[in-house]
Every structure is written in structure tokens, then in C-alpha cells.
Amino acid sequence: MFELAHLLVDEDCATGHFKVDAEAPARYTVFMSSREPQHLLPGKKTAAGGTAPRTSVAISFGSPAGDSGIGRLDLNDILIRHPQASFLMRIAGQSMREAGIDDGDLALVDRAIDAAHGHVVIAVVADEFVCRRLHRLDSELRLQAADPECADLVANEGEEFQVWGVVTNVIKSLPV
């Protein structure tokens, strides 16, 4: 069943605790499960006169003492499609910043995926690894940086580049 909880910030904001007070006017309405009853479908009017939000939000993982139903997440199962052909590479440079890939990010590269037009790839150009978006126009292949200041890499006659793998995920480190 779909539960609604009206939450108010505790008087002592420094504790970071929340208390449930169904009688007080709600500051936050949080839907606690993903099943939505017919009367709370997005865009429909609720009993309180508002409209149901478009997304659901979980606010916590429950008490560590209780069984919250949350299991361990294995990032290998979630992120890696082909374990024998997947590698992590650290990105160096700013050429893909506009695509959300920054200097120092970890790129998960899958060598078993066939690179297609529009994929972000790791390629070998002049014995160097580069991270670029693969652009295919007829028989011409080019590697495009997300930064418009960087020139496209095109294999000239007698030269070639090798697409080494497709970037499937990027892992960022946040300052803490």
C-alpha cells in the first residue's frame, strides 16, 4: 500500500532528526513506496486539494537495528555487462568536460560492445589513449571532443586509429 507521511523538521535543527506529525501542516510530503493508488496518480487532485508529485522519494534507509529490506549493492552486477572485457581508466584532460567527463574521473570501458555513432569511446591515436565521441559520416570516422576548442581527430591516409572500447559509465569523486 502507498503510504503518505507528513514530516516536519525537528525544533533542534542541529540534530538532523525528523518527527512525524500528521496533525500539523506539512512542510514535506514524502511517498514511501513506488506503487501509486489511483487517487494519487501524477496530475490528479489529492484529498488535500493539491496535485500528486511526478516522482517518489525515499528519505532514509530505516533504522540500522531493524530489517529495512535493503540488501548489499554490488557495483559489478549493476555497472558491468561483460566482466572479462571491462576496465577502469582514469581520465586526464578537459576535452570531454561538456559531456560530463572531467579530469580525474574513472571511466568504465567495455571492450565487448561494438562502438557505434554517438558512443563515447576510448581510442588509440598515435600510440596514445584518447577519450572522444565517435562520429560516423558515411565511411569517414572521426573522434569529436565535447570541447569546441579541440579539433576533431580524423584518420588521414596512411594513418588510422583504433577504437579500444566504449565508455559505459563514469565515476566521479566529490570533495569531502
- Cβ atoms of 132 and 153 within 8 Å: the answer is yes
**75 compared with 139, residue with greater pLDDT:** 75
CATH fold of the domain at 77-171: Umud Fragment, subunit A (2.10.109)
pTM (2 decimals)?
Answer: 0.61
**What pLDDT is recorded for position 104?**
95
- The CA distances from residue 5 to 39, 80, 93, in Å, are 16, 37, 46
pLDDT digits 0-9 by tens, 86-135: 999 999 999 999 999 999 999 999 999 999 999 999 999 988 999 999 99
pLDDT digits 0-9 by tens, 48-97: 566 555 445 555 555 566 555 567 888 899 999 999 999 999 999 999 99
- The domain ranges of the chain are 1-71, 77-171
Which of 18-22, 45-49, 162-166 comes out lowest in average pLDDT? Answer: 18-22
Q: What are the DSSP E strand ranges found in the chain? A: 4-9, 18-20, 28-31, 86-90, 106-110, 120-125, 128-137, 140-144, 153-154, 162-171
Strand partners, 90: 106
Picking from 137, 166, 167, the residue whose alpha carbon sits closest to that of residue 152 is 137
DSSP letter at 122?
E
pLDDT band (50, 70, 90) for residue 29:
very low
